[in-house]
Structure 1
Amino acid sequence: MELFPDRAEAGARLAERLLDAHDPVVLALPRGGVAVAVPIARRLGADLEVLVTRKIGYPPTPELGVGAIAEGGEPVFDLRLLDRLGMTPESVADVVERERRELARRVHAYRGDRPLPPLEGREVIVVDDGLATGGTARAALRAVATHKPAKVTLAVPVGARETVRSMRDEADEVVVLLTPIDFRAVGQWYERFDQLSDADVLELLGRE
């Protein structure tokens, strides 16, 4: 299966699948989702903004996500995973609070004091660079839903098949270009998959 050269090319290809959107707002999940979203917003002539999310990690192994939180939303937990780990949402309250602080820092870094654009009654396209477990995307979609948009589309270049299926319960539409059988990680489907910094995000948004 052909790889995407980079996030920008993936976004350009994804944009061609989104041309039916009517005056949408494109919300990118930083950091990687911003690089995918920029060519989409440009192709659609759409407003572009970031929607900040943070993974809630399992304390002994923070890389293992047991949930996620998005700005303006409540934490969304993988309750089955927590149960298997012998934990409850209350067990990670300290982690949630720490991630709330980091989320607020990033919101300020990316947008300053500006709120999200009005979403009520509008089409919203939520963009990330891929779907593995889908934790942050799920938190983002639920946060967006509280704004009462007319339609919510989740758009990603690549995703794990089971995760993509589960997202159809969270969004009105899910647009994905690749759902490989042998999906292991998002980065394996890109020739270039650099880690982006806050400065990279601001440059992509034209806010250096």
Structure 2
Amino acid sequence: MNRFENRREAGRLLADKLLEYKSMKDLMVLGLPRGGVPVAFEIGQKLEVSLDVLIVRKLGLPYNPEVAFGAIASGGIKIINHDMVRRANLTEEAIERVFEKEQKELAKRQEKYGSSLLEDDLKEKTIILVDDGMATGATMQVAIKGLKGAGVKSLIVAVGTAPPDTLREIESMVDEAISLLGPKPFFGVGTWYKDFSQTTDQEVRDLLERTKDDN
């Protein structure tokens, strides 16, 4: 295979690689929005398990938001880089202001998607964490660290495509990592999909609604 037709095809092909998990108790599929959700939907359908989204929000420095000192994610996940906090001389008040701002944005997105993921939903679960692809893997790494901190039992990462060096780094962090395409040179995730049109908020919501109806 040179390229996927679309995200749904990538999901169906990934699902075939994950069938060993189908009968596992306490299994959950989480998609990284927005592009990871159509992929995750197909996996959830094939494995007959529930689907939700894991929304990740960066905590940026007040004077330079592009530089992160931590992150938050669905399910009450919070990660703080204490070395960065010390180097940036951030006060507790400054940290709290950024946290509250991003927490409100995360809550808005959860409501928009119809997501109901709570911290207790993650404990002692086997999680299949899904995206359409990874380039640097930065968002995936934050998600992995957060899920581990939330007490998941085991963690499997499944993506359509990723460069080999990124996949190796992710493999070292989880129980299993699967990428169907690992081309070199990589160019970018969208290169390996014939249809890489943007997944809309409404599509995410519709897919979550469908999986709730099915389960």
Please classify the TM superposition score into its range, dividing by the shorter chain length. 0.7 to 0.9
How far apart, CA to CA, are the structure 1 residues paired with 2:147 and 2:194?
31
Aligned mates of 2:160, 2:49 — CA distance in 1: 19
Residues 166 and 44 (structure 1 numbering): CA distance in 2 closer, same or farther, change over 3 Å? same
Unaligned ranges ≥5, structure 2:
211-215
In the alignment, structure 1 residue 74 sits paired with structure 2 residue 82: no
Q: Which residue in 2 is equivalent to 1:34?
A: 37
- More helix per residue: 1 or 2? 2
Q: Which digits, 9 at most, give the CA deviation of each residue in 1:92-139, with x for residues without a partner? A: 967766444322211122236663672322211011111111121111
Aligned to 1:186: 189
Q: Which amino acid aligns with 1:146?
A: G
TM-score after normalising by structure 2 = 0.78
What is residue 176 of structure 1 aligned with on the other side? 179
1:139-191 CA-partner distances (Å, limit 9, x unpaired): 11122112322211011010122211111232111111111111121111100
Aligned to 1:18: 18
Match of 1:102 among 86, 105, 111: 105
TM-superposed CA distance for 1:49, in Å, is 0.9
How far the C-alpha of 1:200 sits from its partner, in A, is 1.4
Aligned residues: 199
Change (3 A) 1:187 1:146: same
Question: What are the within-5 Å matches in structure 2 for residues 29-178 of structure 1?
Answer: 29-55=32-58, 69-71=72-74, 72-75=76-79, 88=88, 90=90, 98-111=101-114, 115=118, 118-178=121-181
Aligned-residue CA RMSD (Å): 3.0
Q: Which residue pairs with 2:213 in the alignment? A: none
TM-score w.r.t. length of structure 1: 0.80
CA contact (8 A) 1:70 1:136 kept: no
- Classify the secondary structure of the residue corresponding to 1:181: coil
Greater radius of gyration (CA): 2
Q: CA–CA distance in 2 between the matches of 1:97 and 1:89?
A: 19
Identity of aligned residues (%): 38
For structure 1, list consecutive stretches of 5 or more residues without a partner in the other structure. Answer: none
